[in-house]
Structure 1
């Protein structure tokens, strides 16, 4: 129970208008309407997420957080990130130059293949585990295996994305069977149903974690190997693929099958209880241990390790090995 409480307190989500955040003796002080609502030791906090307007943050708190490498992240009502406060680190222009060199070379496809391969293998393995309880998943697994075998020979990004898209359709059909929701279709933007909205919310939590890890590793998050270049942190879209299924899909499927707490209101937005449940479940997945490099590490630690592994692969022109969950 102590471990669970630590997980819950590691990510602080501020959702109420007019909340003020300050610091006193290495303790976060949260006030509502001028009165102290909660105090938490900074040592127990991983990050603070602001999902409300009219929130005030003291400069003393910002200073205390940056010394401990704790980020303040801002998200909209759909949990899409739009800003972050994080301590100033030394910039790594050398890495950005190397990233651009790779993007304009034949090595780009090697990095892209690794991200796609890990995503597909993790999806396939999850369906395989769930096939012990849902016998109708075998057809999906066979279809995925047929397409998966073609990935190693893909030499163009469009070809790779085509395989990834085909497998995604098969995978989400498998998820619909697990959830006993025959009409479920994956929607990434503008979703109002509880399954898609819950998944999008969970991915946004993971997105923040991944972006922070890449920034910490000094990578240029606007330089992508797999996705189209935009005025967005597209490297996050690449890197997150290897963790989506393990950190979010499993958490959301488990929660939806376990209880009715995850629901949307009449505007197609998650209820406060649903958000609380998803934050809790995803953070518990991030705190789960997996076999990695011959030992066991939390998924949180693995994400950071993989960010530095990606940096090393870029700087030293060595093969990048994506994360495949081993239980």
Structure 2
């Protein structure tokens, strides 16, 4: 993803502008938003083009930017250490206000969205394991994963979605276990940290933490409310929609690279620096694209298509 520029093709033909250089200054010049770094104009955009301006680092902006953003329904989003901490929403109805309202109304579509998230998740788990089946001739029970990715699309409740997801998880993590060196001591997925947790689970937890920050960033930046989810239940302070959208990306963006590292360089799995370095190449553009796709499905009432790895 390229910062200090825009992401095109946002729903309703709006763009997202990013500010990532320390000391950047965002101002208004002749009715346009300008991002300036050391007297160099990094981007210049009309307010009617923008959905939001996202500030990723310490920077500054003029009060005229706030006024012009409010008049044109442009959100101003602020991050610290890669997590959102503030968002200025225009007082006029539109933009995020409109999307949040539609998001609440779309709760009646929660089974539909839940099916899509888990269909994408199981498909991507299948792709990860099938790679090793084809390359090395293993039998990792991907046939059943293929069946589950189809079956989950026809269930009629979130509880049934979760049942299919749980069965797929058992098959998937058994497959992952068989791919890893025994020296890593991986016996299955463990989410909680403890003194006895194995190094591969620690690496997974680091990876999912990195992924969560990117998904959270994407959801907030496109105007969605991170606390209004469809698959994960509402709980005070819990970003349910972040966990919903994360499901599609866990296997292709975290698990698969770590499995490769474990097989080729098992000693590196226990080195946090190596894990961070490996996963720093997570494809952020794909995640932002999915967040925009989700926003479009909600606001236009169209079908949501999950991220499907190849």
- Superposed pair shares fold, TM > 0.5: yes
SS state of the match for residue 81, structure 2? strand
Structure 1 residues 109-128: aligned runs within 5 Å: 109-128=111-130
SS state of the match for residue 80, structure 2? strand
TM-aligned CA distance change 1:245 to 1:89, over 3 Å: farther
- Return the alpha-carbon distance in structure 1 between the equivalents of residues 23 and 216 of structure 2: 29
Structure 1 residue 305 displacement after superposition: 1.3
SS state of the match for residue 124, structure 1? helix
SS state of the match for residue 132, structure 1? helix
Select which of 72, 79, 93 maps to 2:80.
72
TM-aligned CA distance change 1:88 to 1:275, over 3 Å: farther
Select which of 199, 213, 227 maps to 2:204.
199
Select which of 80, 93, 97 maps to 1:93.
97
Structure 1 residue 125 displacement after superposition: 1.1
Find out whether 1:213 has 2:211 as its counterpart.
no
Q: In the alignment, which residue of structure 1 is the partner of 2:254? A: 248
Find out whether 1:190 has 2:193 as its counterpart.
yes
Q: In the alignment, which residue of structure 1 is the partner of 2:176? A: 175
TM-score normalised by the chain length of structure 2: 0.70
Counting matched residue pairs gives 241
CA contact (8 A) 1:47 1:73 kept: no
- Return the alpha-carbon distance in structure 2 between the equivalents of residues 305 and 252 of structure 1: 24
- Return the alpha-carbon distance in structure 1 between the equivalents of residues 274 and 119 of structure 2: 30
TM-aligned CA distance change 1:190 to 1:311, over 3 Å: same
- Return the alpha-carbon distance in structure 2 between the equivalents of residues 92 and 233 of structure 1: 16
Select which of 240, 246, 254 maps to 1:234.
240
Structure 1 residue 254 displacement after superposition: 1.6
Select which of 100, 106, 112 maps to 1:102.
106
Q: In the alignment, which residue of structure 1 is the partner of 2:287? A: 303
Structure 1 residue 23 displacement after superposition: 5.1
Which is further off, 304-313 or 251-260? Answer: 251-260
CA contact (8 A) 1:73 1:208 kept: no
Structure 1 residue 276 displacement after superposition: 1.7
- Return the alpha-carbon distance in structure 2 between the equivalents of residues 70 and 280 of structure 1: 25
Q: Deviations over 1:157-202 (max 9, x none)?
A: 0011000011001001100111134852100112521011100100
Task: Provide the alpha-carbon RMSD of the alignment.
Answer: 2.8
TM-aligned CA distance change 1:279 to 1:71, over 3 Å: farther
Select which of 262, 266, 269 maps to 2:269.
262
CA contact (8 A) 2:84 2:217 kept: no
Provide structure 2 residue ranges, at least 5 long, that are not aligned to the other structure: 3-20, 26-41, 43-53, 66-75
Structure 1 residue 133 displacement after superposition: 3.7
Structure 1 residues 157-168: aligned runs within 5 Å: 157-168=158-169
SS state of the match for residue 149, structure 1? helix
Structure 1 residue 323 displacement after superposition: 0.7
SS state of the match for residue 285, structure 2? helix
Structure 1 residue 89 displacement after superposition: 5.3
TM-score normalised by the chain length of structure 1: 0.66
CA contact (8 A) 2:119 2:150 kept: no
Q: In the alignment, which residue of structure 2 is the partner of 1:52? A: none
Q: In the alignment, which residue of structure 1 is the partner of 2:228? A: 223
Provide structure 1 residue ranges, at least 5 long, that are not aligned to the other structure: 1-5, 7-21, 27-42, 49-59, 75-82, 264-273, 287-298
Select which of 274, 279, 283 maps to 1:282.
279
SS state of the match for residue 280, structure 2? helix
